[in-house]
Chain A
Amino acid sequence: MKLGPSFRLLLSTLMISIGLSGASSMQAQAQEPKGLRIATSYKLMTLDPHYANLNENTSLLSHIYERLVYQDERLELKPGLAVSWRALSDTQWEFKLRDNVRFHDGSPFTANDVIYTIERIRDVLKTPSGGFKSYVSGIKSVTAPDPLTIVVETNGKVPTLPLSFSSLFVMRRPSQGFQTTEQLNADVPPLGTGPYRFESWSSGENLKLSRNDHYWGPKPAWADVTFRVIENPSARVAALSTGEVDVADAIPARDVAGLKQRGARIASIGAARINFVQFDVARDTLPGVTATSGEAIANPFKNPLVRRALSHGLDRGILVDKILAGYGTAASQVFPAGLPGTSENLQPREPDYEEAKALLAKAGFPDGFNLTLAGPAGRYPGDAESLQAIAQSWARIGVIAQPAAAPFSVFNTKRAAGEYAVWYGGTSGEAVDIILHTLLASPDLARGTGALNFGKYRNEAFDKKLAEAEGIAVGSERNAGLAEATELVMADQPIIPLYHFHHIVGFGPRVGSYVMHPRGWTTAMQTLTATEN
């Protein structure tokens, strides 16, 4: 349940004041330190690793199941269950699999299991979430020349196949047939090759794991791990403060100071994701957009000058410093600068209200206009507050914005129904090209592009450039192409990038260090014990 901001404010104020009063800190620690206890906001939905492509599931299931390829903290690809991979031709990939890997029941891991995994996702599962299908839809066939090699044949060029495989958990092929989601949830304990074995799960409550002593990789630091689902951020903060848990993820930025005073430590990293303002640039008239006099006007967002003016008239510093309490990075593109595929030439701009006004005047709106700025509440750090701050910024250039925050499900329903003209949104992906592909490429059902392009923005030059870059194999050349495509599209300002919020994790004295991942995963493998450090 989401409690009102007033409640959270009250609790955090209380906690800070306790910290100041010097009350004993980090007390009530477990007398017998055994396993690692993690308070997570991620609610595991199912034990089926192919049910829904959400951090909620992948974070926790990555203890049990493994991928062929990993994305490290720089989002670079690293060997996982596959030790190496190469393109045999434009439509053929070869993956060499790791030897001497065993599933938790002792059976050996072979190419047969990889084939099973791909077939299960591509041909068998009919989950309503269906989030994994796109990773394997380009695969024509998979063959195994020997038990530790697979050859993947694709329909056309798929230079990102290794990246796709970094999202797929490998399951063991059962003696017959395919396992259904119901079976995995009820009867069959999940079986993977990962560093932890499954012990027990109670939906919405906890997930218990124990160390896999036969793990092929570095042995995990903790013999057993308990994840406790605590969705309320204040409750997570309280559990960490009282020492009931060792790690708490998704800490609100406003609670960081209080937690530090109580002896907890903080790890944070810029998230590989973007929050932005998106315009409807397709329709002729828009709901909620009127002249200052209140009369209906033609869609002003079709004019790039207006979009640029709104971008110039926006103070990202306030969003990052005040609303996110410094735990955010002002954005000028889809990923934080420095990650593969980002452009060094794009820097977040300081607000320039004079230039913004001049641009508005040039576009035919010397007095500005009125609009309703929609957005979800409580979905992303700083979402509803950002609407207010953006509205205040825009008021300085004569654009009177009415913030309209709604619960996420209501927001999505209304956005799909076309009730919004301009709105706040957020998205993430494995790589820059995936976000460009879904958020900014022209909507095209057949090619599957523009799924998140709710503004129906179309830019053929950008589409071409992106398609070119997407055809290049993963590497610096591809990254340069993506950066160029980003520069091209951002000049037109189809969205206004706002910020990349930071993932914040707090940890107690039993944890030595915590390595954050920009994808926002919370795992026991990211922690080391205090003695190990």
Chain B
Amino acid sequence: MALVTVALGRLSQAFLLLLAMSLIGFIGIHSVGNPVFNVVNIETATPEDIRLATIALGLDQPIWRQYLVFIGNVVAGNFGTSYIYHQPAFTLMISKLPATLELACVAMLVAAPLGTALGLIAGRRPGTLFDRAVLKASVSALSIPSFWLAMMLILVGAILTGWFPSGGRGATAAFAGQEWSLITRSGAWHLALPALTLAIPNIALIARLSRSGTIEVENLDFTRFCRAKGLSPRRILLRHTLPNISMPIVTIIGLQFGAMLAFAVVVESIFSWPGVGKLLIDSIQLLDRPVVMATLTFIAVAFVVLNALVDLFHAVLDPRVRLSSQR
């Protein structure tokens, strides 16, 4: 029963969030400018062309009516047709999703284990050379702007050495009805640099969290008891410390994963990676409102779902959460 209440509360929150987001997004994109000037060729269009286009796109209606029409369409499962590409906005967004998804997944699959491991090892013996190196490196990795990091990786990895391509997605192959680059050689090669760009700051973030957690846990009574009981340091680290520091790490992985899905804009732009982030920024620039709204809605849903997953994981990982919800 309690679970149902929690779930219902959660759902209504998510619903309100989506509504607020759609309103803000709608008004925001409306106030930037008039999309008609991007739809018609402004260098040749006659005032009559502009008038007809305005009517064709429904932009002659007052903004509140446009919003109501939009909400009505969304409820009916339709985000409208892209002004620029003349394709269904939601389909267009979905077609860009595999690119972003595999980029974010690869980046996180690199960042999460590597960051956790570095933090564990560094935090176990604070003050050693390794610890100080991890700390220093993580500070710089976090303070480097991602566009600069991306450029440096292109410079070293593509232009100077020629090992990796400088951009694009490479060859893709169909799997489960979508095109993926991870399963082709050329595609994986193209994926390397952008994934690394996304992974590096996350490695640093996770390493710092895991390091400070390790230091804290290693000084707690139960680790001392473990040590006194004669457990090997490795066993203590993996079986006792790691589960205890995993809560913030799981949280940050969830949040960062959402952020990568939504806002890998800079990296996707520099590497010409045709993902959702690039679609969003292109569409904002072209004032392609249906696509912007479809993408924003997807992002909001993704964050809500990821947060729910993170909470679920907490319950799995931490017995205290499980106990408190049973009470």
Contact = CB atoms under 8 A, between A and B. Distances in A.
Interface string A233-273: 00100110111100000000000000000000000000000
Contact of A27 (B32, B35, B162): B162
Interface in A11-33: 11, 14-15, 18, 23-24, 27-28
A53 to B, nearest CB: 5
B41 A131 contact: yes
B169 A205 contact: yes
A128 B53 contact: yes
Given A1-B282, A182-B87, A409-B287, 5 more contacts: A1-B266, A203-B85, A235-B166, A244-B166, A408-B38
Contact of B285 (A238, A409, A413, A426): A409
A48 interface: yes
B154 A427 contact: no
Given A11-B151, A129-B41, A45 B169 contact: no
A342 interface: no
Given A7-B151, A202-B95, A448-B46, A242 B35 contact: no
B147 A232 contact: no
Contacts, number: 178
A3 B269 contact: yes
Given A7-B147, A45-B85, A409-B286, A128 B40 contact: yes
Interface residues of A, number: 66
Interface stretch (B20-28, B241-249, B270-278, B294-302): B270-278
A141 interface: no
Contact of A230 (B53, B160, B167): B167
Contact of B167 (A133, A204, A238, A427): A238
Interface string A184-203: 01100000000000000011
Contacts of B182: none
B191 to A, nearest CB: 15
Interface in A106-129: 126-129
Given A1-B281, A45-B84, A242-B166, A451 B270 contact: no
A186 B86 CA distance: 10
A228 interface: yes
A421 B96 CA distance: 42
A25 B168 CA distance: 21
A232 B270 contact: yes
A416 interface: yes
B52 interface: yes
B319 interface: no
A428 B158 CA distance: 37
A121 to B, nearest CB: 13
Interface string B77-90: 00000011111000
Interface string A73-105: 000000000000000000000000000000000
A1 B282 CA distance: 6
Interface in B33-54: 33-49, 52-53
Contact of A181 (B42, B86, B92, B147): B86
A134 interface: yes
B43 A23 contact: no
B43 A412 contact: no
A448 B147 CA distance: 46
Interface string A126-154: 11111101100000000000000000000
A445 B48 contact: yes
Contacts of B159: 15, 18, 23, 238, 241-242
Contact of A244 (B46, B53, B165): B165
B56 interface: yes
B19 interface: no
Contacts of A181: 86
Contacts of A204: 85, 96, 274, 278-279, 282
B151 A235 contact: no
A471 to B, nearest CB: 20
B147 A242 contact: no
25 contacts: A1-B281, A1-B285, A7-B151, A15-B159, A18-B159, A28-B158, A128-B56, A182-B87, A202-B95, A204-B274, A205-B274, A230-B167, A231-B272, A235-B166, A238-B154, A239-B167, A239-B272, A242-B158, A244-B165, A409-B285, A410-B32, A412-B34, A427-B43, A429-B43, A448-B48
Interface in A430-455: 434, 438, 445, 448, 451-452
A122 B272 CA distance: 38
A46 B86 contact: yes
B265 interface: yes
B63 interface: no
Nearest to A11: B151
A407 B287 CA distance: 11
B150 to A, nearest CB: 10
Most B C-beta atoms less than 10 A away, residue of A2, A412, A434, A445: A412
A412 B83 contact: no
Contact of B168 (A15, A28, A126, A244): A244
A51 interface: yes
B40 A409 contact: no
B154 A451 contact: no
Nearest to A1: B269
Interface in B142-171: 147, 151, 154-155, 158-160, 162-163, 165-169
A41 to B, nearest CB: 11
B326 to A, nearest CB: 49
Given A130-B53, A203-B85, A235-B166, A428 B43 contact: yes
Contact of A413 (B33, B86, B95): B33
B10 to A, nearest CB: 34
B281 A129 contact: no
A228 B170 CA distance: 10
Most A C-beta atoms less than 10 A away, residue of B57, B165, B179: B165
Interface in A23-60: 23-24, 27-28, 45-46, 48, 51-54
Contact of B87 (A129, A203, A228, A445): A203
